[in-house]
Amino acid sequence: MKHFRLLICLLAVFALVAASCGGNDDDDSGADAPDAAPTAAPDDSMDDEMDDSMDDEMDDSMDDEMDDSMDDEMDDSEAEPVATEEPEVDPCEAVDLEATDVGITSDTITVLVMADVGSPLAPGLFQGSIDGVKAWADHVNSEGGLACRQVEVLEHDSAINPTETTNGFLVACEEAFALVGTTALFALDTTDLQSCSDAHGNDIGVPDFAYITTEPPHQCSVVTFATSRPNSECPYSGRGPRAVQSQVGHAQWALENISSDLHGVYLVPSDLPSTIASTMPQLRSFQEIGIVIDGEPGVSGFTTQSEYGAFIQVMRDAGSNFAYTGSDDQSMIKWRSEAEAQGMDVDSITWMCQLACYTPSFLEAGDVIENTYIWLWFLPFDEVEHNQELADFMVAIDDPFPPAWAAGSWADGVLFEQVVNGIVAEGGPNALTRQAVLDGARSLTSFDVNGWWSPADYSTTENIMPCFMLMQVQNNEFVRVHPSAPGELDCDPDNVVGLTKDWGAEFGG
Amino acid sequence: MIFGVRHSVVVATLLATLGAVVLAVLTWKGSQVTSESFLVTTYIGLFLGALWAMYATGLVVVYTTTGVFNFAQGAIGVFSAFLYWELHVNRGWHSILALFVVVCLFAPALGVTLDAVIMRRLRTASLVVQLMVTVAIMVLLLSVVGDIWEADTPRRVPYLFGINNGIDLGPSQLPWHRLIVFVVAIAIAVSMRFLLRRTRIGTAMRAVVDNRELAALNGARPNVVSSTSWALGSMLGALGGILIAPELGLDPATLNNVVIIAFAAAAFGALRNLPMAVIGAMLIGLLRAHTGAWLDFGPDFRFAHLAVAPLILLFVVVALPQARLEVGRLAHHLRRHERYTKWWEGLIGCGVVILLAVAFSGGWLDFGIWDPGAWGSRELNSANEAMALALIGLSLVPLIGWAGQINFAPLAFAGFGAFVYLKFAGDSGNGYWILLVGLLCAPLGALVALPAARLRGLYLALMTMAFAQAMSLIFFPHPWVMPIIGTGRQFPHIELFGVTFDDRRGFFLLMVCVFAIFVYGLVLLRRSRYGRRWMAINDSQAAAATLGVPVVWTKVVVYAVSASMAGIAGVFWATVSGNVDSVQGFDLLIGFNIVLLVAAAGVSIPMAGIFLIFIPLFKGFGLRLEDAGNVDFLVTLLDIMTTYGPGLMVLGMVFNPRGAIFEMGRGFSPILPWRRDARAEIAAENAQKREPEIGELGIDRPFTPEEVIAIDRRLGILDEVVPKEGYGTARS
């Protein structure tokens, strides 16, 4: 925490200088960029997006929900507008920029985004991740760049293939400064990622700011910092018990507000060992807080809708009033459609799903998914008026309902940006090396994508993001349910349950 | 015979039933079975069966009426379902109109086009070529769907008349859509059986498959009949795809995989019996539904209930009667002019391969961006993967190319080899264990060969496909087989002769050496007694058996050799990436692609391996091109070739059934000074080309005088029967 405060102070000091470089004299906008550095100086476009009352709303909501450290962070950032009144000094002009490490020149910082896109089995799967990183880079470049340099983005398609994923690590090692927005499902071997040499011949690895980390080797890579936290103990041998934290705030809310006697079926996505291992902790945590599980069948992408009839039958036999899928939106659509087809009283059941159901295609299913609850760990896309980072993202991505992958890889970009800005603030733009980035990222104990996401602790892999917000599909729209005020996340520490089990063996099938 | 049923079938059924009961007892979930839950599960099973029955009916109809087993049946359904979605959902057409346009206009047009452009040319092709071409069509259709509709976007096809409307069944409700599917499936099966058995066109369809010329002489029009058959098959595929899509969602891979279940159902009806195919589909549906509802296989066998179809397919194939020896008919592919590669030619060829690989990868020659010597770790990694797949592909040469034993399970053998290596070599990476892998994989090949020895052709293809599917669903996902590890490499770097091959360039060279050894071994094998026997049973089992060739033993040996090679290749394949994705890494489609590429190269030519070695080079070039920049059009071209290339290459087999390498070799060999035979062969062929085409025995039209002369010349009676002034003059 001490390091974090120091970092924030340094960032704030640097922001004072940076903001004055931007040549913008609008006081309000500075408050919207709490981690501002040379790149994050406010500009006119931001002003156009935000209304005058936004800062007040932000202050109110964040004060209510965030812990003390978050308040401190916000307070620090709110001091930034003063910076615009400092004398203008451009730190970039005062320094002779150097090629300080692999992927860095005097003009550019090259990052690589690797995502599973080109598989014949699922073409275009994570294209959103690539789009998100490109949008972030364009946004950063339009605001003056990062560490006095322009950000260049290389793409690599890992193609849902272990070899192509390794190839991506090799490309990053040879040509990029860091990986940003990694969304590869089969990062089974991270040796090349972790042992890559820097420009000085030290085998320190490539900083990897990933969105998702599904496999234990990737989750426990010492150079990987995932915005979608693994919540799991590291190092891990791959077999046997493992300590995992799970987010259960949404289920707790359902127990308190819908019924204290929730019992039902939890669908486990069983195609991959990693999906089982990542789903079972939440299921057992539900039981821990008092939800009775009537059945925990596995589902596959190949499960037909009529086969969901078997799950309906289990619910019918047990008189279930709760239904949760750890799988995707299509799974929930099939489940609910089959329940309708079988003449089940669907209104008596609390249907719940995770981020995977927050898609336009879910809404396209129409009435059949009405009243389904969906929980997120970040503010939804329609709340642009309540968070500047979200507003920037929505403008840059230019899609009224972007895929969640895009938001995740944008968040990776912001994480990378924040770490880089910290280094620059401390040592100047020529202090930027892979080692410095690794050190900076490892010392981050709280990062919340400038208030858009639940804060995460990067000093460990085990601690989960404590915040959530809950929505419900009402009249074919996602409607915020909890917390009721827009721009807020519920960050109660009791939202998290920690358990240690052999998760692979927990699944009954 | 027991009640008219063969002993083997009775015994196999009893054993299967006993096994199923034991399995059910061991894996019983403990759920309470009520009459309500039993009825609902049965209803689900019957509905699933009806869905698969539609596909199975299409397969049986096309096979019965054209003699071609259409692997693209599922892909036709996928394409049609997407087109239906485009018209009905995206463009707002009425569902009936969209259904009519797709099923009654588009699908028949597609079927007729496929027949006219491709299938008609496959009439005399070997079974390998026929199957490969339909697999290529499947791959191409799926690629087109992916390109047109961006298949990653989740889409839903609505139920006909909605999901909420239907008949109340008490404990459950039967939506109209499902009722329609059930009725349509039964109606199609009944009407198709009537069509094939009771109508003139149906009789003509079957007659054309049996003997095209004879049928034509009796008034049938073969081309019209085969086009009708393909149109009908496409219509059934389209209808199946559209009606299944609401159940599965519009996902190409998921929709296409349904056809594998339909294969099992079709095999249940011996590929020709429609009622039995429908019963088979229903049986699979019921088994899958009840298995999913009542049995718990645990996390280690989590895909077991999906393996019902491949297991039934295996069971059916094992229960099939011994294939009869075909006599009285000469295979068309007997007209070959093959030459055994001399031992020193093979030695020189393999030496050249190794030298080139060393020169290229060592950077001794400078080829700019084309120079593999300048490759980085990434290019070498890709090259190593492709090289390992080429090794796996080489194992198919003796099996498919020489012995004519179709095998869609090369990856299953390779995976088994990797598994054996993992268990014995462990963390040591000791390369000497690879030899043991070769020895231990041979019995697995022999085990597969035992039922294969009784079968041939299409059943063999289906059996190996079921074997591959069962292995990928049951064996490989088990954590004991490929244990998940927390960090590092699952498969350590190979250590051989005191050298650890942890350097990618060194590992590439090691694999090139292994590749050369494989190729040279094949050259020698082909010259051996076994090589000649394999060729003999491929040409004619009856003739080979008559000459004293032990057919069963010969098949067992070739399977063992192939499995042994694939197993060794599997060790290298697993070691390239260090970690194997135990779920998707053994997907049947990957195995299909390997077989496709080898077939396109020329699976019967040992030196076709040379072609496969260019795959890594080609892949490396692509990566270098991307880096070179300013070559967007080349990168785009490469993308297109990557997507459509394998399929198009295999389609090329329609014109060059023996593969690209065979044709390349024919073009190259006359240049070699000692190949007088090649030059003479080319000269003879050129002389023959100058003669007019004879046509189909004068059925379509009368012979011209030139054609009569050509026939007489081929019969060697030209001088005796042709007057000096020629036919035309004499008749006039």
Please report the DSSP string for B353-395 in residue order: HHHHHHHHHTT-S--GGG-GGG--HHHHHHHHHHHHHHHHHHT
CA distances for A412 relative to A113, A136, A189, B44, B571, angstroms: 10, 9, 21, 45, 37
Dihedrals φ, ψ of A110, to 5°?
A: -100, 125
Percent of chain A at pLDDT > 70 equals: 80
- Asked if B43 and B169 count as a contact pair (C-beta separation under 8 A), the reply is yes
* Angle at A177 (CA atoms; ends A171, A178), nearest 5 degrees: 80
* Beta bridge partners of residue A110, listed in sequence order: A152
For helices B660-668 and B608-628, the axis angle rounded to 10 degrees is: 100
Beta-carbon contacts of residue B548 (< 8 Å; ≥ 6 apart)? none
Domain boundaries, chain B: 31-295, 341-360+373-621, 691-731
| More confident site: A13 or A435 | A435
Average pLDDT estimate for B542-571: 91
Question: Contact B583/A273, CB-based, under 8 Å?
Answer: yes
What's the pLDDT band for A71 if we cut at 50, 70, 90? very low
List the single best residue of A152, A161, A188 to mutate versus B (max B Cβ within 10 A): A188
Q: How far is A246 from chain B (nearest CA, A)?
A: 20
pLDDT at B637 > cutoff 70: no
Residue A47: predicted pLDDT: 40
Dihedrals φ, ψ of A269, to 5°?
A: -70, 110
Q: Per the omega criterion (within 30 degrees of 0), is the bond before A42 cis?
A: no
Q: Which residues of A touch B386 (CB under 8 A)?
A: none
| More confident site: A491 or B659 | A491
Region of poorest pLDDT, from A131-140, A396-405, B590-599, B720-729: B720-729
Residue A37: predicted pLDDT: 36
Region of poorest pLDDT, from A489-493, A505-509, B51-55, B207-211: A505-509
Residue A4: predicted pLDDT: 35
Residue A29: predicted pLDDT: 35
Residue B537: predicted pLDDT: 86
For residue B236, give the amino acid letter. Answer: L
The total of other beta-carbon atoms located within 10 Å of residue B118's CB is 17
Beta-carbon contacts of residue B5 (< 8 Å; ≥ 6 apart)? none
Closest CA to A320 of A330, A328, A309, A311: A311
Q: What pLDDT digit, counting tens, does each position of B80-89 carry?
A: 999 999 999 9
Question: Contact A313/B178, CB-based, under 8 Å?
Answer: no
- Asked if A249 and A495 count as a contact pair (C-beta separation under 8 A), the reply is yes
pLDDT at B717 > cutoff 90: no
At A10, list the tokens: 């340094």
Please report how many Cα atoms fall inside a 13 Å half-sphere around the Cα of residue B681, on the Cβ side: 16
First to last CA, chain A: 43
| DSSP, residue by residue, B476-516 | TTSTTTS---SSS-SSPPPEETTEE--SHHHHHHHHHHHHH
Residue A281: predicted pLDDT: 93
Taking the mean position of all CA atoms in its chain, how far away is CA A143? 23
Closest CA to B422 of B438, B443, B437: B437
B684-717 as b/e, with b when 16 or more CB fall inside 10 Å? eeeeeeeeeeeeeeeeeeeeeeebbbbbbeeeee
Residue B719: predicted pLDDT: 59
| More confident site: B5 or B325 | B5
DSSP summary character for residue A457:
-
Dihedrals φ, ψ of A108, to 5°?
A: -135, 155
The whole model's pTM is what?
Answer: 0.80
Distance CA A124, CA A130 (A): 10
At A62, list the tokens: 């964040």
What's the pLDDT band for A33 if we cut at 50, 70, 90? very low
Q: Which residues of A touch B89 (CB under 8 A)?
A: none
List the single best residue of B44, B586, B635 to mutate versus A (max A Cβ within 10 A): B44
Distance CA B352, CA A33 (A): 64
Q: Is B218 on the interface with A (CB under 8 A)?
A: no
Query: By CA distance, what is A280's nearest residue in B?
Result: B299
List the single best residue of B48, B140, B260, B378 to mutate versus A (max A Cβ within 10 A): B378
Average pLDDT estimate for B152-179: 79
Residue A17: predicted pLDDT: 33
| More confident site: B676 or B236 | B236
pLDDT at B69 > cutoff 60: yes
At B274, list the tokens: 């429609």
Distance CA B554, CA B537 (A): 8
At A350, list the tokens: 């609390």
- In the three-class reduction of DSSP (H, G, I as helix; E, B as strand; rest coil), residue A101 is classed as coil
Region of poorest pLDDT, from A366-380, B182-196, B647-661: B647-661
Q: How far is B212 from chain A (nearest CA, A)?
A: 39
CA distances for B568 relative to A123, B325, B435, B450, B698, angstroms: 32, 34, 8, 22, 53
What's the pLDDT band for A95 if we cut at 50, 70, 90? confident
For residue B181, give the amino acid letter. Answer: V
Dihedrals φ, ψ of A467, to 5°?
A: -95, 155
| More confident site: B515 or B590 | B515
Average pLDDT estimate for B478-493: 79
Quickly tell me which residue has 């008026």 as its tokens: A385
Q: Is B172 on the interface with A (CB under 8 A)?
A: yes
Q: How far is B457 from chain A (nearest CA, A)?
A: 29
pLDDT at A13 > cutoff 70: no
CA distances for B487 relative to A173, B484, B665, angstroms: 19, 9, 47
Residue B366: predicted pLDDT: 55
Residue A89: predicted pLDDT: 62
Distance CA B253, CA B290 (A): 25
Q: Residue A130: enclosing H or E segment and its boundaries? A: helix A127-142
- Asked if B264 and B313 count as a contact pair (C-beta separation under 8 A), the reply is yes
Distance CA B300, CA A504 (A): 9
Q: Residue A481: enclosing H or E segment and its boundaries? A: strand A477-482
Question: Contact A314/B289, CB-based, under 8 Å?
Answer: no
Region of poorest pLDDT, from A283-297, B388-402, B600-614: B600-614
Region of poorest pLDDT, from A242-246, A324-328, B143-147, B581-585: B581-585
pLDDT at B565 > cutoff 90: yes
Average per-residue pLDDT in chain A? Answer: 82
Residue B259: predicted pLDDT: 83
Distance CA A147, CA A430 (A): 8
Q: Which residues of B touch A508 (CB under 8 A)?
A: 296, 298-299
pLDDT at A5 > cutoff 90: no
Region of poorest pLDDT, from A383-392, B90-99, B128-137: B128-137
The total of other beta-carbon atoms located within 10 Å of residue A497's CB is 22
At B80, list the tokens: 């049609």
Average pLDDT estimate for A55-69: 42
Q: List the domains of chain A with CATH numbers.
A: 242-377+465-506 (3.40.50.2300)
Percent of chain B at pLDDT > 70 equals: 83
Q: What pLDDT digit, counting tens, does each position of A431-485 carry?
A: 999 999 999 999 998 899 999 999 988 887 777 788 999 999 999 999 999 999 9
Average pLDDT estimate for B465-483: 87
Average pLDDT estimate for B223-250: 89
Quickly tell me which residue has 């040796």 as its tokens: A191
pLDDT at A384 > cutoff 90: yes
A416-453 as b/e, with b when 16 or more CB fall inside 10 Å? bbbbbbbbbbbebbbebbbebbbbbbbbbbbbbbbbbb
Distance CA B627, CA B611 (A): 25
Quickly tell me which residue has 């080797």 as its tokens: A217
Q: Which of residues 652-711 of B touch A (CB under 8 A)?
A: none
- Asked if B390 and B559 count as a contact pair (C-beta separation under 8 A), the reply is no
Q: What pLDDT digit, counting tens, does each position of B112-122 carry?
A: 999 998 888 88
- Asked if A502 and A242 count as a contact pair (C-beta separation under 8 A), the reply is yes
Q: Which residues of B touch A189 (CB under 8 A)?
A: 488-490, 577-579
Q: Per the omega criterion (within 30 degrees of 0), is the bond before A429 cis?
A: no
pLDDT at A51 > cutoff 50: no
Q: What pLDDT digit, counting tens, does each position of B598-635 carry?
A: 887 788 776 666 666 565 555 555 655 555 555 555 55
For residue A386, give the amino acid letter. Answer: H
Region of poorest pLDDT, from A211-220, B105-114, B476-485: B476-485
The total of other beta-carbon atoms located within 10 Å of residue A401's CB is 14
Residue B12: predicted pLDDT: 74
Average pLDDT estimate for A488-506: 90
CA dihedral B125, B129, B135, B137 (to 10 degrees): -50
For helices B608-628 and B377-394, the axis angle rounded to 10 degrees is: 160
Distance CA A447, CA B605 (A): 61
Residue B677: predicted pLDDT: 80
* Count, residues in chain B: 732
* Matching CATH number, B31-295, of 2.30.30, 1.20.120, 2.40.50, 1.10.3470: 1.10.3470
- Asked if A148 and A97 count as a contact pair (C-beta separation under 8 A), the reply is yes
Average per-residue pLDDT in chain B? Answer: 80
* Beta bridge partners of residue A115, listed in sequence order: A157, A183
Query: By CA distance, what is B305's nearest residue in A?
Result: A509
Question: Contact A317/B37, CB-based, under 8 Å?
Answer: yes
Q: What pLDDT digit, counting tens, does each position of B520-529 carry?
A: 999 899 888 8
* Beta bridge partners of residue B175, listed in sequence order: B166
Could you write out the three-class secondary structure of B3-71?
Answer: CCECHHHHHHHHHHHHHHHHHHHHHECCCCCCHHHHHHHHHHHHHHHHHHHHHHHHHHHHHHHHCCCCC
CA dihedral B135, B468, B417, B591 (to 10 degrees): 20
List the single best residue of A116, A117, A121 to mutate versus B (max B Cβ within 10 A): A121
Quickly tell me which residue has 């300590």 as its tokens: A243
* Angle at B589 (CA atoms; ends B661, B271), nearest 5 degrees: 95
What's the pLDDT band for B456 if we cut at 50, 70, 90? low
pLDDT at B723 > cutoff 60: no
Strands B499-500 and B495-496: antiparallel
Residue B97: predicted pLDDT: 95
| DSSP, residue by residue, A25-61 | --HHHHTT-TT--GGG---HHHHHHS-TTHHHHHHHH
Question: Contact A368/B163, CB-based, under 8 Å?
Answer: yes
Please report how many Cα atoms fall inside a 13 Å half-sphere around the Cα of residue B183, on the Cβ side: 7
